[in-house]
Amino acid sequence: MADNIVWHSHPVDQATRADQKSQHPLLIWFTGLSASGKSTIAGALEQVLTAQGYHTYLLDGDNVRHGLCKDLGFSDQDRKENIRRVGEVARLMVDGGLIVLAAFISPFRADRQIVRDILPAGQFVEVFIDTDINVCRKRDPKGLYAKADRGEIKQFTGIDSPYEPPETPEVHVAADRLSVAESVNQLLAYLHHAGALRAGYVPLAVEEGGPED
């Protein structure tokens, strides 16, 4: 960083923005295998939070690669840079007082730790969407596992590139055994207990069915 660049503080700070929105800003980071249910559960949670008056934004892995990270591939170095960029964007949005949801495979613990470290203490919530790879294969809505098996996709997480599951996530969602509504309610209960939802929340009615990603 150049020596002549200095962080400029502004009179409207995160606390002011958070009070305006009656919420505790934080980053909810969803990690898990492809087709584990990350995007579906994150989207359902955002829908509930928005309907109940909270201010949110969802950053999705595929979506950011259409713009912010469209110049990156899937090498280990590119994956690291992808997560770094998303982490910096999310940090600014959290500073803006938002509850930010980020759904990314983010296979490496070190990369997820980098994002945690740039957020203020208590404002990074790691959510492990834990779905057995055989369940992910069965869903495979994008056909990615089949392509990886045929060698058409290289460095695919869970096939020829490793996935390092979180060791101590704030929330561990057994998404291959829970419905979307049950998963969302687990997250809502955690967020309320953590003080993020100052106005409280209404849980979803639980119905039959499981998540997809």
**Catalytic residue set:** 106
- Residue 203 per-residue DSSP state: P
- Residue 109 per-residue DSSP state: H
CA atoms 98, 17, 50, 193: torsion sign: positive
| Angle, in degrees to the nearest 10, between helices 109-118 and 76-95 | 20
Q: How many CB atoms lie within 10 A of CB 96?
A: 16
Q: Got the DSSP string for 166-194?
A: -SS-SEEE-TTTS-HHHHHHHHHHHHHHT
E strands, 38-165, are 56-60, 99-103, 124-129
Q: Is 60 helix (H, G, I), strand (E, B) or coil?
A: strand
Exposed/middle/buried for 85, CB within 10 Å: 0-12, 13-18, 19+? middle
The one-letter code for the residue type at 158 is G
